[in-house]
């Protein structure tokens, strides 16, 4: 993962199966959030899900299925500027407002909240420096 001016986007799970999980996205990279195992942040690969003894039943529930296989794509297009694209029929929410495609350019001033599915919520923020240990890149690029 390369960084431009040392700025990376941090996507951190706040609620849902991906709570506590984090990905860093360098300028020029993309991150797909969704249910597919191939998504960069995947509810199917979530540590919180796999820790449940009933995880195989959970993945068939209506609440779990509100996250599409490829639900949302985040492109880090310039330092501190991201484009969020809803790839689903279930909706993507930025700060509580449903969006189809949105450009966010004020991450240097404030964090934002992204919602997908019935319960998955993420904090979007910027950080300086290299990727987190064990984070080999965003994955799930489009």
pLDDT (tens digit, 9 = 90+) per residue, 20-44?
999 999 999 999 999 999 999 999 9
pTM over 0.95: no
pLDDT (tens digit, 9 = 90+) per residue, 70-117?
999 999 999 999 999 999 999 999 999 999 999 999 999 999 999 999
Residue pair 16/117 in contact (Cβ under 8 Å)? The answer is: yes
Q: How far apart are CA 113 and CA 129, in angstroms?
A: 22
Confidence (pLDDT) at 63: 86
Q: Which two tokens stand for residue 98?
A: 């449903």
- Domains of the chain and CATH, by start: 7-127 (2.60.200.20)
Confidence (pLDDT) at 89: 92
Residue pair 68/88 in contact (Cβ under 8 Å)? The answer is: yes
**pLDDT band at 140, cuts 50/70/90?**
low
């Amino acid at each position: 993962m390369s960084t431009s001016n040392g700025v990376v986007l941090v996507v951190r799970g706040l609620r849902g199966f991906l709570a506590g999980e984090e990905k860093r996205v360098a300028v020029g990279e993309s991150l797909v959030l969704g249910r597919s195992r191939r998504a960069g942040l995947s509810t199917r690969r979530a540590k919180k899900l796999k820790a449940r003894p009933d995880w195989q039943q959970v993945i068939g529930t209506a609440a779990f299925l509100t996250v599409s296989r490829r639900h949302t794509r985040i492109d880090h297009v310039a330092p501190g500027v991201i484009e969020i694209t809803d790839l689903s029929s279930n909706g993507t929410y930025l700060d509580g407002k449903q969006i189809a495609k949105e450009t966010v350019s004020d991450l240097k001033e404030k964090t934002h909240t992204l919602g997908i599915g019935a319960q998955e919520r993420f904090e979007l923020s910027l950080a300086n420096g290299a990727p987190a240990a064990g984070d080999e890149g965003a994955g799930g690029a489009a």
